[in-house]
Amino acid sequence: MAAKGMNVNMKVALFAETYVPDVNGVVAHVQTLKDGLEKLGHSVMVVAADKKAKHHYVEDGVLHCPAKESKHFYGFGVALPFSSERRRIIREFDPDILHIHQEFGVGFSGLRVSRRLEKPLVYTLHTMYDQYIHYIAPKRLLKVARNFSRKYIRFIARRATVLTGPSQKCAEYFKSIGIQKEFHLIPNSADLDIFDPAKVSEEQKAAFRKQYGIPEDAFLACFCGRLGKEKSIDVLIEFIAGTLTKEDNVHLVVIGEGPDKESLQKLAQDLGISDMVTFTGLISHDNMPVCLAACDIYATASLSEMNSISMLEGMASGLAVLQRYDELNANQILVGENGYLFNTKEEMAEKIREIKALSREQKLALRQSVIGTVKSRGSTELAEYILTVYEEAIALNGAAMS
C-alpha cells in the first residue's frame, strides 16, 4: 500500500470504550480528534460501546456497539470483543487506518479487525492502569491483576504499528513492560473556541458562584475530574487546611463525581474547612466553560495524570495552573507563563497568595499568557500532528505487506 498524501481524503476508524454523552478525558480527546480530522476533510468513524444500544448501528459518524453497564468501569458500557456485525460495518467503511484509544471489548475488536483487513493500527495509551487496578481487583489479588494488566497492554502494543500517548509517562511505561517500539508523544488538546473566557459574561460567572454558595469576592481555585484516590484531592484539601485561613478568602471548588466524594467531604468537615470547599457533583461539558471562567486558578495534586484534558480546558479558559511537582509531567507547566509548581503545602499557599495579590491588570495579563501557551493545542493542530503519525503507520504497514 502506498502512503497517501495528507491532502487526500483519509478514512479513519477511532475505537473507544466510551463516547459522548459520557464525560471523561478519553471522550474529550477522541471528540477533539474527530472534529479536527473532519475539519481537514477526512472521514471518521468512531466505534464506541453504548449501553443503550440494542444492536449495532451508525449515526452521525459513530458506530454504536451494544454493551452492558459495568460498575467496575465507572458505570460505562463494556461491549463484547467479538462481533461479525461490527466487523462487517467497519469493513464497509474501509478505513485506511484504525486507531484504538482504549483496550477493552471495543479496543480489542479494533486490533482484530486491523489484522483481518491488513490495515495499520495506531495505539494510544491514555491511562496508567497500574494506578487503577484497585478499583477492579481485591487487595489480595492486586499483584496478579497488575501483572495481567501489563501482559495485556504488552500484547496490544506488540501488535500495533505505531504507539502514541499524551505524556512521557507512557513511553516509560512501555519500556517497563518490554516494548521498544518508537513512541510518539502527542499532548492532549482542548477546544479553544468553546472555552474562550471572553464568551462568558460577568452575570454568568456570578450566577455560577451564587448557585453553589461561593462568595463573590473569594479567590476561587478549582479541580475537575473523577473523585478517586489517584487524583489526590485529599492532598489539596489537607494542604489548604494546613496553611490557609478564612482571612485568606480562598475557596476550592471540586467538580466531578467518584467513589471518594463522601470521604473527601468528610475530610473537609473533619479539618474544619467545609465552608472553604464546595463539591458540585458532575457538571455537563456544555456548562464547563462558565464554571471555569468563574474561577481564578486550576489546582491539582495528582501524580497519576497524563497531560490532563480538564486542566487544559482550564488553561484554555485562562486559568493559571498550580500543579504538584511530577517529574515526567513538569514540562507542561511553563513557570510564570501558564502556572506554577509546588511540592509542599507551604509552597502551594505561597503561590496562591502571590497570584491573589496581583493587580487586576496583572491578573488579566497572566490569563492572556496562559491562553497563549495552549493556542497551538486545538483540534486542527492535534489532527495535523496525528496525520503525520498515520502516514508513518501506513508506510510501515505497506513495507511489511510487500
- Mean pLDDT over each residue of the chain, to the nearest integer: 90
167 in the same domain as 150: yes
Whether the predicted pLDDT of 185 surpasses 60? yes
Tell me: the pLDDT tens digits for 255-284?
A: 999 999 999 999 999 999 999 999 999 998
Grid cell in block for residue 198: 471572553
94 in the same domain as 27: yes
185 in the same domain as 203: no
Which amino acid, residue 300? T
CATH number of the domain encompassing residue 16: 3.40.50.2000
Please state whether the predicted TM-score (pTM) of the whole model is above 0.85: no
Whether the predicted pLDDT of 230 surpasses 90? no
340 in the same domain as 237: yes
Residue count of the chain: 402
Residue-number span of the structural domain to which 62 is assigned: 11-189+378-401
Do 369 and 338 touch, CB atoms closer than 8 A? yes
35 in the same domain as 117: yes
Concatenate the DSSP letters of all residues of 308-354 into one string: -HHHHHHHHTT-EEEEE--GGGGGG--BTTTEEEESSHHHHHHHHHH
Report the number of distinct structural domains present in the chain: 2
19 in the same domain as 81: yes
Q: Is residue 6 part of a domain?
A: no
Tell me: the pLDDT tens digits for 85-105?
A: 999 999 999 999 999 999 989
DSSP 8-state code for residue 141? G
Tell me: the pLDDT tens digits for 125-149?
A: 988 776 656 555 567 766 787 888 8
169 in the same domain as 143: yes
336 in the same domain as 212: yes
83 in the same domain as 168: yes
230 in the same domain as 210: yes
Grid cell in block for residue 247: 482571612
336: left (phi over 0), alpha (psi -120 to 50) or beta: left
Q: What is the pLDDT of residue 75?
A: 57
Q: Is residue 5 part of a domain?
A: no
172 in the same domain as 206: no
pLDDT band at 24 (very low <50, low <70, confident <90, very high): confident
Q: What is the pLDDT of residue 399?
A: 78
